[in-house]
Amino acid sequence: MTDEPTDESRPDRWIELEGVVNMRDSGGLPTRDGGAIQPHRLLRSDNLQDLSEDDVRQIVEDLGVSDIVDLRSDTEVSTEGPGPLWHVEALTHHHHSLFGDGRSVTAEQALAMPEHSKRATRDAGFWSDHYLGYLAARPDSISAALDVVSRSTGATVIHCAAGKDRTGTVIALALDAAGVPHEAIVEDYALTGERIEKIIARLMPRELYGNALRHQSVADQLPRPETMRTILATVQSEFGGAQGWLREQGWSDADIERLVARLTS
């Protein structure tokens, strides 16, 4: 007998819009105390450049989004230019890059595809090392992104280019801090695999990403459950979990309680 959720019991958290392929709501994910992440509090997404007018309406009116957290590099933001949501006065945009401010970033670096790697393929070990690098290099940006979530008056959308790596790392810390069991976080992370071909197809025509992606296989970009298990286990062993990590960044107990309450109540 297993207490793993069945396909029938899992809520459908995908948000189907014309201009994105990897947007979903964290609402419905269980917490260890018997609660759940509340709907329309924490959304994750691939890049938001292609949203239609109806998409924008749904994001603002139906989903109640008030804040957008953009984890992309300065290079990506300037190359891609402002998307449709930048013109919506009701939204607040927060840019918290997981690369150094002002640093020129290639597509390979943005999508974790270094030109020279000791690994023949991007396996689970490669990705876990890379994600832990985000925590080491830009704890300020990750902390700031989670602070936005904690103070938001509506839903917060966290996104990067694919909505997989940078977004996956920040979302995982938010869910861990809120008390979501590790296996549920792992499952949520791996869910992007259902859309990986569509994600790549969206990025391929874009000037910044296309050439880099042509030299990669779908398998190289597939999110692997063991990657996220490693991240969560490392944060647990080194900091006592995401809440301990946040305390290392200067968060008070009241700050953490505000984040947890925003996500769960």
Query: Could you tell me the pTM of the whole model?
Result: 0.89
Q: Report how far apart, in Å, the C-alpha atoms of 181 and of each of 29, 30, 155, 172, 225 are.
A: 9, 7, 22, 10, 14
What pLDDT is stored for residue 116 in this prediction?
Answer: 44
- Quick one: tokens of 223? 């999110």
The residues spanned by each domain of the chain are 24-100+117-264
For β-strands 92-95 and 42-45, DSSP reports them as unpaired
Least Cα distance to 156 among 96, 116, 220 occurs for 96
CA 226/CA 108 separation, integer angstroms: 23
CA 137/CA 146 separation, integer angstroms: 16
Per the model's pLDDT, the better-predicted residue between 109 and 61 turns out to be: 61
42-53 pLDDT per residue, tens:
999 999 999 999
170-179 pLDDT per residue, tens:
999 999 999 9
How confident is residue 205, by pLDDT bands cut at 50, 70 and 90?
very high
What pLDDT is stored for residue 2 in this prediction?
Answer: 37
How confident is residue 9, by pLDDT bands cut at 50, 70 and 90?
very low
Share of the chain above pLDDT 70, in %: 86
- DSSP type of residue 62: I
For β-strands 42-45 and 24-25, DSSP reports them as antiparallel
DSSP string, 163-207: SSSHHHHHHHHHHHHTT--HHHHHHHHHGGGGGHHHHHHHHTTST
What is the average per-residue pLDDT within 3-20? Answer: 68
The residue with tokens 């953490």 is 256
- Quick one: tokens of 207? 């000037």
Sheet strands side by side (includes 42-45)? 24-25, 42-45, 155-159, 65-70, 92-95
**Side chain identity, residue 182:** H
CA 91/CA 67 separation, integer angstroms: 6
Main-chain dihedrals φ then ψ at residue 156, nearest 5 degrees? -110, 130
Main-chain dihedrals φ then ψ at residue 172, nearest 5 degrees? -60, -40
| CATH dotted code for 24-100+117-264 | 3.90.190.10
68-104 pLDDT per residue, tens:
999 999 989 999 988 999 999 999 999 999 987 666 6
- Quick one: tokens of 158? 């966290």
